[in-house]
Chains A and B, each alone.
Chain A
């Protein structure tokens, strides 16, 4: 009896997980590329949970005498894979983020230079005055803030 209850709980949990993932994809909260891995993991777990004979056959074959333990082991292994996948994703995002920030700083510099040259061309005060002004302004600002 408890055996049946265990399977019902396991099946309900995995089915719930699959529905949650599909719903997140439907609402565009989760990208398909990440959803696929989750769906794969939960499907494997669902098969193991539902197919009583398979779970016990595999577990006895590899020397696990308590079939639900295999379910836990499989779930843990799959989650580890998912976590590794996320670490990879974070690493690549960090790298892309770095390149973007560097590119932005260099473009900003180029833009400022061009704006400066334009201002100098269209008859503004000489550059030295601008620099002096900003310096004295900065000094007063700094002295005010202490």
Chain B
């Protein structure tokens, strides 16, 4: 068993069709990363396939939703002393070849606490295609977040992110419940951690169903807008060493 200081967190809910390839690609292109697959209450063979593919598997007893599943990975990363964690979708949307790019950027800019892979910063004009309504939602959130954080944000819903130890600690302690991406950026900003976007490629999903497409986009918009609005009036504390990662920790 080799010791790695970097962890790839792969939340997966019924991704049996893509999980093997996703894990294999991370192992191939980012072999210095341990892979933990958080099985979010799947009813298919996702967990078994992930284990066979060589990932560590955290099997949630029931479906928590993307936020709760992702946070499980962060708690695991925090408790096992990982220095860097990268989120990779289980559906194969994120290109594992970009993980070293994200890592190199973090190594080069040590003042940055989180690097976000953006679909809309690509130099080649291939771009990323998605429906008009989703594009509109992304633009609205991008404008809003750019305004609040006073920096240019082009892809607020991108789940392809890498954080350092401070970010891991923050997210292990507090992570938004559902549709967490937009709120997580705000959370980072509120705790005075720095994030930066760099361009990445993204592929159309190979299997499974998007959490956003399956539920009402209107609910998504309203929920995140409410969270953003209320978040503005929340008093934040910076992450202090020695803080408990999650509330239940004190009981153990």
A residues apposed to B, CB below 8 Å: 94-96, 98-106, 108-109, 131, 134-135, 138, 142
B39-65 contacts to A, CB under 8 A, are 45, 48-49, 51-52, 56-62, 64
Instruction: State in angstroms the CA–CA spacing of A100 and B68 once bound together.
Output: 11
9 pairs across A/B with beta carbons < 8 Å?
A100-B248, A101-B60, A102-B68, A103-B248, A104-B61, A105-B61, A106-B79, A135-B52, A138-B49
Q: Smallest distance from the beta carbon of A145 to chain B beta carbons, Å?
A: 9
CA of A65 to CA of B214, assembled, Å: 51
Is B76 an interface residue when CB atoms closer than 8 A count as contact? yes
Interface centre among A95, A101, A108, A109 (most CB of B within 10 A): A101
Rounded to whole Å, the gap between the CB of B171 and the closest CB of chain A is: 12
Flag if A106 contacts B76 (CB, 8 Å).
Answer: yes
Given A138-B45, A138-B48; A105-B58 close (CB under 8 Å): yes
Expressed in whole angstroms, the minimum distance between the Cβ of B251 and any Cβ of chain A is 9
Question: Are A134 and B75 CB-contacts (below 8 A) given A99-B248, A102-B60, A105-B59?
Answer: no
What is the CB-to-nearest-CB distance from A92 to chain B, in angstroms, rounded to a whole number? 10
Spell out B's residues near A (CB within 8 Å): 38, 45, 48-49, 51-52, 56-62, 64, 68, 71-72, 75-76, 79, 177, 246-248, 252
Closest CB in chain B relative to A89 CB, distance in Å: 16
A95–B246 CA distance with the chains assembled, in angstroms: 11
Q: Which residue in chain B gives the minimum CB-CB distance to A142? A: B45
The reply to whether B38 and A105 form a contact with Cβ atoms under 8 Å apart is yes
Contact across chains for B68 and A98 when beta carbons are under 8 A apart = yes
Instruction: Assess whether B248 is in contact with A109, with CB atoms less than 8 Å apart.
Output: no
Chain B's closest residue to A145 (CB) is B45
Q: Which residues of B contact A95 (CB under 8 A)?
A: 247
Identify which of A96, A105, A108 gathers the most chain B CB atoms within 10 Å of its CB. Answer: A105
Closest chain A residue to B74, Cβ basis: A102
Chain A residue numbers with a CB within 8 Å of B60 are 101-102, 104-105
With a CB–CB cut-off of 8 A, which chain B residues contact A135? 52
* A138-B20 Cα distance, complex, nearest whole Å: 13
Most chain B CB within 10 A, of A96, A100, A102, A134, is at A102
- Besides A99-B246, A101-B72, A102-B72, 19 more A-B contacts (Cβ < 8 Å) are A96-B248, A98-B68, A101-B61, A101-B62, A101-B64, A102-B60, A102-B71, A102-B246, A104-B61, A105-B61, A106-B58, A106-B76, A109-B56, A131-B52, A134-B51, A138-B45, A138-B48, A138-B49, A138-B52
